[in-house]
Structure 1
């Protein structure tokens, strides 16, 4: 298996729902009308129900009930609605993925997205971009398991998907890793360049000729989400903290480690727990 053949095997290439593709096209557009998005969502009963359920969830803590798609969009905001629609399209595309425990996978993705958005708010990265990148950064793993289940099962028996060394392991075994596939899928689906370019740099945000702050934020967020889900001991977290990436962003380790800010780095408050940040958003993954 190589990346080229994996992406050229047309019978196994995933496709996403048309409504998700059309909403994706609105990324980067600040003047898209609420009515346009509402019309797209209302044509999909399942998506409409999911939107209303999320709008009425504890995440938004409303004192009233939201009963229409149009009202839900106004309550949630266009950014959140676009993320819900695109996520729903991706989740549906990979609803049956051989060998993958999908709930832990999507929980890691959601935790990464929430951590990335929080970090974005404390840096110069657009929050919607960071959240979407975090949520979708692992889709290559799903495609690899769908297109080559036997080969991936052999890898999984040697090293779990969420292991810290998984990227390097896949690179050594296959010549590419799941983040390479994620970026290739983003291009296949005609994601906006604002998503495709940082997606390709998440694995090594310091390696490219042009530094992507969004890629660096998601790199840190994915690291933190994995440690949270694996309940990594504090000594391991401190030993493997991505200091160089955080330093390039100009932020201290205070958001995750009880350390004083190094000279020249922005002091960071502790990040709330990922369970708290993601509370109420798990409905996006149903």
Structure 2
């Protein structure tokens, strides 16, 4: 089975909203027009309602209720608004495939995203780009559940018993979720560093291009998510220090601040509601 042939023939391939593409382009564009983006966000009533609800929540609470996207930017900051719009736009793009827990999928995706942003702050990588990479790191797995639900569910059943999902997908389909995610990101016209980070998230050491650093950030974020329920000693004992060294992270500083992760997931349910 060829991945490109599968996607080319799909009639239910999700398309990303244009506002999402424009926001992602703004990562590398210092001349983007915040007012123009606010205007476009305001044209989407559901998105505006979510932005205002979060801006007036306890997390960003001020001494007055705000009622416009521009006021929300002032209170939240543009990076927070951009994160919210990206989250809302991407989560609303997909419908739950049969037998797939979409809410749990997005909750875990945002956990990885939050940790990717936290790790990126200790590197030279853009933390907002890292958040986006974390948010869509597993988008290829969701895509496979949309296009090949029976095969994907069978593979999931075995993966839950300890088998490698990546290896099973390659064995049965000829490609895995990282390759599917890369292809979808390319078709959505996302920057190459993002599609590369998705593709090489499990093996960043095998990639020597620009996206390798972001792939390493995502890899560490996945590790931190997988060990989120473990005690700090266990988490630190197996931490992928080799990737941290490759990224030039001051591990003493970063790992010494590991308790910050206890609060990093506040607000996830509001993002995926």
2: distance between equivalents of 1:107 and 1:122? Answer: 24
Task: Give the distance between the partners of 1:238 and 1:5, measured in 2 at CA.
Answer: 43
Residues 131 and 223 of structure 1, relative CA distance in 2, 3 Å threshold: same
Deviation of the 1:236 alpha carbon: 6.4
**Are the aligned partners of 1:108 and 1:226 in contact in 2 as well (CA < 8 Å)?**
no
Q: Which residue of 1 aligns with 2:125?
A: 125
Q: Which is worse superposed, 17-26 or 179-188?
A: 17-26
1:225·1:274 contact (CA, 8 Å) conserved in 2?
no
Partner of residue 283 from structure 1, selected from 249, 252, 270:
270
The 1-side partners of 2:237 and 2:163 are apart by 12
For structure 2, list consecutive stretches of 5 or more residues without a partner in the other structure: none
Q: Which has the higher helix share?
A: 2
- TM-score, length of structure 1 as denominator length: 0.84
Residue 64 of structure 1 corresponds to 64
Question: Matched residues in 1 for 2:108 and 2:21: separation?
Answer: 24
Aligned to 2:180: 181
Q: Which residue of 2 aligns with 1:141?
A: 141
* 2:87 maps to 1:87: yes
Aligned counterpart, 1:250:
248
The 2-side partners of 1:274 and 1:66 are apart by 30
1:74-101 residue CA offsets vs partner (Å, 9 max, x unmatched) = 2222222222222222211213222221
Which runs of structure 2 are paired with 1:32-111 in the superposition (5 Å)? 32-111=32-111
How many residues are paired up? 272
Aligned to 1:204: 203
* CA distance in 1: counterparts of 2:5 and 2:230, whole angstroms: 36
Q: In structure 2, what is the Cα distance between the partners aligned to 1:97 and 1:208?
A: 32
SS class of match (1:26) = helix
Alpha-carbon distance in structure 2 between the residues aligned to 1:4 and 1:40: 32
Question: How far apart, in 1, do the equivalents of 2:101 and 2:73 lie?
Answer: 31
Q: TM-score, with normalisation over the residues of structure 2?
A: 0.88
Q: CA deviation at 1:53?
A: 1.4
Shift of 1:274: 4.1
Superposed CA deviations along residues 232-277 of structure 1, whole A, max 9, x for unmatched, are 5778646653232222123366xxxxxxx5xxxx663232354511
- Bigger RCO (CA 8 Å, 6+ sep): 1
Tell me the equivalent position of 2:116.
116
SS of 1:158's equivalent in the other structure is helix
Higher mean C-alpha displacement, 69-78 vs 144-153: 69-78
5+ residue gaps in structure 1?
254-260
Tell me the equivalent position of 1:256: none
Deviation of 1:226 after TM superposition, in Å, equals 2.2
Alignment map for 1:163-174 (pairs within 5 Å): 165-174=164-173
In structure 2, C-alpha distance between the alignment counterparts of 1:158 and 1:148, rounded to whole Å: 16
After TM superposition, give the deviation of residue 210 of structure 1 in Å.
2.6
Q: Deviations over 1:124-169 (max 9, x none)?
A: 11111111111111111111101110111111121139x6943334
